């Protein structure tokens, strides 16, 4: 699984990736596997993250797209990977 910032970025990256092109050739030639599928998934809704504050242990609501959020105790939390 891989992730990009947007659909067009994903399509551009895959299109110019030699390993992907060679893998698709193998799949399409019938030399690999008996079935398969490729997809580009787009999130329907990305909810807030709820990282735990290292200072006090509380969960802190971190809005989708935000890099950091402040905790009521004065601590701070940072976004992590959604995958
Ligand atoms: Zn805290």
Looking at the structure, tell me whether residues 51 and 77 fall in a common domain.
yes
- Indicate the SS3 state at residue 29: coil
Query: What confidence tens digit (pLDDT) does each residue in 15-67 have?
Result: 888 988 888 888 888 877 888 788 888 888 889 999 999 999 999 999 988 99
- Indicate the SS3 state at residue 19: helix
Per-residue pLDDT at 4: 78
Whether residue 12 contacts residue 40, with contact meaning beta carbons closer than 8 Å, is answered with no
How far is the centre of ligand 1, averaged over its atoms, from the C-alpha of 77 (Å)?
8
Looking at the structure, tell me whether residues 37 and 2 fall in a common domain.
yes
How far is the centre of ligand 1, averaged over its atoms, from the C-alpha of 53 (Å)?
5
Whole-Å CA distances, 76 to 47, 57, 70: 19, 11, 4
How far is the centre of ligand 1, averaged over its atoms, from the C-alpha of 5 (Å)?
30
Last residue of one domain, picked from the residues 11, 27, 42 = 42
Looking at the structure, tell me whether residues 38 and 65 fall in a common domain.
no
Whether residue 45 contacts residue 56, with contact meaning beta carbons closer than 8 Å, is answered with no
Residue ranges with strand state E in 18-72: 68-70
The count of domains in the chain is 2
Provide the domain limits for residue 79. 45-83
How far is the centre of ligand 1, averaged over its atoms, from the C-alpha of 31 (Å)?
55
């Amino acid at each position: 699984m891989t992730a990009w910032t947007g659909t067009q970025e994903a399509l551009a990256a895959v299109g110019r990736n030699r390993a992907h092109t060679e893998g698709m050739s193998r799949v399409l030639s019938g030399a690999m596997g008996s079935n398969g599928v490729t997809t580009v998934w787009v999130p329907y809704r990305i909810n807030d993250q709820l990282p735990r504050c290292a200072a006090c242990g509380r969960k802190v609501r971190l809005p989708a797209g935000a890099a950091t959020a402040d905790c009521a105790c004065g601590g701070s939390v940072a976004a992590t990977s959604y995958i």
